[in-house]
Amino acid sequence: MEFTAKDIAGLVGGTIDGNPDVKVNRLARIEDGEPEALSFLANPKYYPFINSTRSSIVLVQSDFQAEQELSCTLIRVDDPYTAFANLLEIYDKMRKGKTGISPLASISKSAKIGSNAYVGEFVVISDNAVIGDEVKIFPQCYIGENVKIESGTTLYPGVIIYYDCTIGKDCTIHGGSVIGADGFGFAPQSDNNYKKVAQIGNVVIEDNVEIGANTTIDRATLGSTIIRKGVKLDNLIQVAHNVEIGENTVIAAQTGIAGSSKIGKNCMLGGQVAISGHISIADDVKIGGKAGIAHSVTKQGSILLGAPALEISKFRRVIAIFNNLDKLYYRIGDLEKTIKQLQAEKISDEKIG
């Protein structure tokens, strides 16, 4: 896609200083600029790069003053960072604006496909699946029987959605994610073997959810595993069967949530957090990276750190002690020597007496 400085200025409400007809077809950092690239300059730390950048167009603050003659065209805006972010959003929407159904896709005759949908090469859409308007399904995705995907949702390459699951509006699911695989349910037997417990529930993902690459969300044993609206999941997250994650909760990579746990709304979980099964986390809770949560958190707004996790104030006290353990060790050693010496002196005095 190609844009002129005039086009971009119109999109961001900027004024042009230079050639309005210069064209760009890519984005680049100002220090890595190249011809036909668009960059932005917001942080004064990067001001020197404006003199050497090869980018054709640079977004700058409206009151920016160059120290020398520049080869690039400037577009002056009130906030270059926000303007650039808006352009990225526009560009992303245009890039994802594909429509049409590839002849290499395999679509059941009983499936329903909405208007302006995109179905890429080697996509499989199974019996009775319902695909909403403007849904984008990139190549090599698998959509199981009776799956429902509502309007505006995007599935990137290699996403697998098992049977009976539902995906809400305006969701994004990144490549390699698996929605609705069996929960980890096995009943121990007297001969030390394990009998698989059939997982006959589903996964329900509400509106405006984003799921990172290679994240897995298991189907419920009975009922539903539920991801409420506005949830943002990073890459490589494991969500077990019958878990419920509340509205607008965000979770960083490599977190594992065991079965039947309930996480409240507006929570924030760092990377590699471990949540035990069958516990509840209150609303607005923040959990630091690598924390281990073994018991329910009932206090709204708690901040937890460590494994096992502690309230932040207690964790800080514990860490302060831990950081001085070596000094305490040597102090105890000195005290033991002193005690032994005093005991020896007392025994000697008693013998003399």
Q: Is 241 a catalytic residue?
A: yes
Q: CA-to-CA distance for 70 and 49, rounded, in angstroms? A: 11
DSSP string, 14-52: -EEES-TT-EE-EE--GGG--TTEEEE--SGGGGGGGGT
Q: CA-to-CA distance for 73 and 57, rounded, in angstroms? A: 5
Of 201, 197, 216, 115, which is closest to residue 159 (Cα–Cα)? Answer: 216
Q: CA-to-CA distance for 149 and 157, rounded, in angstroms? A: 16
For residue 285, with 0-12 CB atoms within 10 Å meaning exposed, 13-18 middle and 19 or more buried, which class applies? buried
Contacts of 101 by beta carbon, 8 Å cutoff, 6+ apart: 107, 113, 117, 118, 119
For residue 309, with 0-12 CB atoms within 10 Å meaning exposed, 13-18 middle and 19 or more buried, which class applies? buried
Q: CA-to-CA distance for 197 and 62, rounded, in angstroms? A: 64
Q: CA-to-CA distance for 99 and 102, rounded, in angstroms? A: 9
The answer to whether residues 163 and 147 touch, using CB atoms and an 8 Å cutoff, is: yes
For residue 328, with 0-12 CB atoms within 10 Å meaning exposed, 13-18 middle and 19 or more buried, which class applies? exposed
Q: CA-to-CA distance for 261 and 220, rounded, in angstroms? A: 12
**How many Cβ atoms from other residues are within 10 Å of residue 196's Cβ?**
10
DSSP 197: P
Length of the chain: 353
Which member of 174, 241, 278, 295 is catalytic?
241
**Which residues does the annotation mark as catalytic?**
241
